[in-house]
Amino acid sequence: MQNSIIKEFMNKTKLSNMGMSGRKDGIPRPDFEQNPEGEFDKIALPIADSSSFPSMDVVEAIEKRKSIRDYASITMSINELSLLLWCTQGVKRIVPNAVAFRNVPSAGARNAFETFLLINNVDGLESGLYKYVALEHALLKLDINKNLAEKFTLACDEQKQVKNSNVTFIWTAVPDRMTWSYAERSYRYLFLDAGHVCQNLYLVAEKLNLGVCAIGHYDDDTMNSMLNIDGETQFTIYIATVGKAE
């Protein structure tokens, strides 16, 4: 039987119940990107160049795609990481004071996500927590701590692929970016958009001979706390581990 909370969510987010959006209410458009406050080292990423990797037909990538939890102890190159980030949240074009078009579909091109990275084994990068600056195709080094992998693994209910991955992608949602256009209906779109992002990760990983495992099973409050976000104006929405396929 459907839980009453689920029924309430589905009812209140029906198109017929959509309230006044921020746009119609005259609220200024939210920024395209939200980065942590404070001074952090910024690392420029190499230009994402798919031509330096073996070619793969998109249909072949779709047919081969599967979740992989076991990874080889081989270092991932920063060029591979750059391409994964570009294809999942890279900014293609900006229309000033309007939209920033990215490489994934998003309702109204609102693109409400931010990307955090738990780096475990990537060439040229210290292990730790990073944030992707999509507008600059760069990384912010947030926290270099050898115990972070263990902590994030525990937050994912001890799913060992988090600790053993080359990198774990942690996507967060900033709902104000979406509610500005779609009010309550936005919360449906956020979860749909998360699927678009992760599917791109899976398909590009196939081209790079990398394994991916999407994770929806994690402790929300713990994960949000470790990312230093409040769980309301920004919250963890999806996670995926990436590692060298054995």
Average pLDDT over residues 65-83: 97
CA atoms of 33 and 200, how far apart (whole Å): 20
Mean pLDDT score across all residues of the chain: 95
Nearest to 246 by CA among 170, 123, 161, 120: 161
* pLDDT value of position 2: 64
CA atoms of 105 and 68, how far apart (whole Å): 25
pLDDT digit string, tens, across residues 35-56:
999 999 999 999 999 988 989 9
User: Position of tokens 């009010």?
Assistant: 183
* pLDDT value of position 97: 85
Q: Could you give the maximum distance between any two Cα atoms of the chain, in Å? A: 53
CA atoms of 50 and 38, how far apart (whole Å): 33
* pLDDT value of position 106: 96
**Measured CA distances, 55 to 58, 67, 82, 212 (Å):** 10, 21, 17, 19
Cα torsion 162, 136, 227, 158 to 10°: value is: -10
Q: Indicate the pTM of the whole model.
A: 0.95
* Beta-carbon contacts of residue 169 (< 8 Å; ≥ 6 apart): 84, 88, 115, 116, 117, 201, 239, 240, 241, 242
pLDDT digit string, tens, across residues 78-134:
999 999 999 999 999 999 988 999 999 999 999 999 999 999 999 999 999 999 999
CA atoms of 18 and 211, how far apart (whole Å): 40
CA atoms of 240 and 204, how far apart (whole Å): 13
CA atoms of 122 and 166, how far apart (whole Å): 6
* pLDDT value of position 145: 85
Residue 74 has pLDDT above 90, yes or no: yes
Over the Cα atoms of the chain, what is R_g? 18
CATH class as words, domain 54-144+155-245: alpha beta
What is the distance in angstroms between the CA of the first residue and the CA of the last residue of the chain? 42
Phi-psi region of 133 (alpha: psi -120 to 50; beta: other; left: phi over 0): beta
pLDDT band (50, 70, 90) for residue 22: confident
* Beta-carbon contacts of residue 181 (< 8 Å; ≥ 6 apart): 21, 22, 23, 107, 108, 110
pLDDT band (50, 70, 90) for residue 1: low
pLDDT band (50, 70, 90) for residue 65: very high
* pLDDT value of position 245: 86
pLDDT digit string, tens, across residues 192-235:
999 999 999 999 999 999 999 999 999 999 999 999 999 999 99
* pLDDT value of position 40: 96
* Domain range annotation of the chain: 54-144+155-245
